[in-house]
Amino acid sequence: MRRTAPVPDVTYRAVFCDLRTDRVVDTLPLTEVEFDDFIGKPGRLRATVPLPDESLARRARTALRPGRTAVWLERGSDIWWGGILWTSTPSGDERGRLQVEIQAGTFDSYLDHRIIAKNLVFDRTDQFEIVRALVRHAQEQPGGDIGITCGDDPSGVRWSRSYAYTDLARIREMIDELAAMDEGFEWRVQCFRDPGTGARVKQLQLGHPKITTGAVDLVLDRPGPVLTYSLPADSTVQANVWIARGESANRDQATESLPETSPPLTADDDLDGGWPRLEGTSDHSGISDRAALARAARAALDRARRPQVIPEVTLRVDSRLTPALIGTTVRLRIRDGWHRDGPDLRYRVVGLTVTPPARGKGETAKLYLEEA
């Protein structure tokens, strides 16, 4: 009889640290864990801390301080996720059992809680340097440094931008708006352990026009490693006409100010090909130049012309699957009743959700893909 190879033990450990100093406060057990990470939007961690005795409850009260606690999730010796504890919900049931449900967001979620402290002006500045300057500005304010490190690589695309303190805009909004421009970029805060020092690292990762990693495609087959898949097509965000709205160019406070808009940009070949007219709009703070608004409208129209398709595939976690897959190109090959002749397509991993092993369930990862 052929013996099945034993499943290796998978150990996850949650390390809770002071957000500003990264000083370790405690390590606590977690159950019902699920965490995700994405390009272009914050990821989340959801988990439960069981409290079987008063001693552990006291430790949890000290360690779980929403808004000032960093959470690092380690798988073995590797860091698989890092972020900020935002909510903590202790509860007790009718049998006297206590637990705390926690939710945390990746470190980029911090920039949703920060605004600029003064007017900032950039004249023909590389877009990557604008992003780094905004992050540095946030961390230069009293109490604002959470240890996000920045590189110095350029993108080759330059912009002139002015940001007014009175707009009270969130720094993440500013970065996302710049990223969405024509010839824009992708960004995230990548977490890993420094191979030389062993230190935990929060590093701003930028990619123009995309974040890409890995030199060889990862092949995913069904039947095969792919357990489940979903290929949704969403036309609720589709458009073939786009108008971008900015700020007023009028500096005379005695006269009425109206926002500048781009001319309507139309995908005529879509309308000629039988598509109905579908219109979209976007708002852009800090932009009053019509030419810049037209470029913003062009970028948005290019993204919106077809139904949005974000494939999802679920796999068992093996040595090939780590958070470093984000940005990697994969080949998805599906053979079933719906896809008799394919597809055999290349996609890029733009996010993943990991569910650690639990009683009766193996460790799985859901990958979110976009066409490469």
> Which of 114, 100, 108 has its CA nearest to residue 84?
108
Mean pLDDT for 248-257 is 71
> Matching CATH topology for 114-207 and 218-232+310-371?
no
What's the rounded mean pLDDT across residues 14-42? Answer: 96
Q: Which of 28, 21, 189 is nearest to 105 (CA)?
A: 189
For residues 63 and 29, the answer to whether their CB atoms sit within 8 Å is no
Residue 9 has pLDDT above 70, yes or no: no
pLDDT single digits (tens) 68-113: 999 999 998 899 999 999 999 999 998 889 999 999 999 999 999 9
Give percent above pLDDT 70 in the chain: 95
pLDDT for the residue 248: 84
Residue 320's pLDDT band (boundaries 50, 70, 90)?
confident
Instruction: List the chain domain ranges.
Output: 12-110, 114-207, 218-232+310-371, 241-304
pLDDT above 70 (res 136) = yes
Alpha helices in the chain (DSSP H): 54-63, 127-140, 171-179, 268-272, 290-304
Distance CA(241)–CA(280), nearest Å, equals 6
Identify the band that residue 288 occupies on the pLDDT scale cut at 50, 70 and 90: confident
The pTM (predicted TM-score) of the whole model is 0.86
Partners of 137 in the beta sheet? Answer: none
Q: What is the pLDDT of residue 265?
A: 95
Spell out the CATH class of 114-207: alpha beta
The CATH fold of domain 218-232+310-371: Phage tail proteins - horseshoe like beta roll fold (2.30.300)
Q: Please state the CATH superfamily assignment of the domain spanning residues 12-110 in this structure.
A: Baseplate protein-like domain - beta roll fold (2.30.300.10)
Q: Per-residue pLDDT for 15 more than 90? A: yes
Q: Is 267 exposed, middle or buried (0-12, 13-18, 19+ CB in 10 A)?
A: buried
Length of the chain: 372
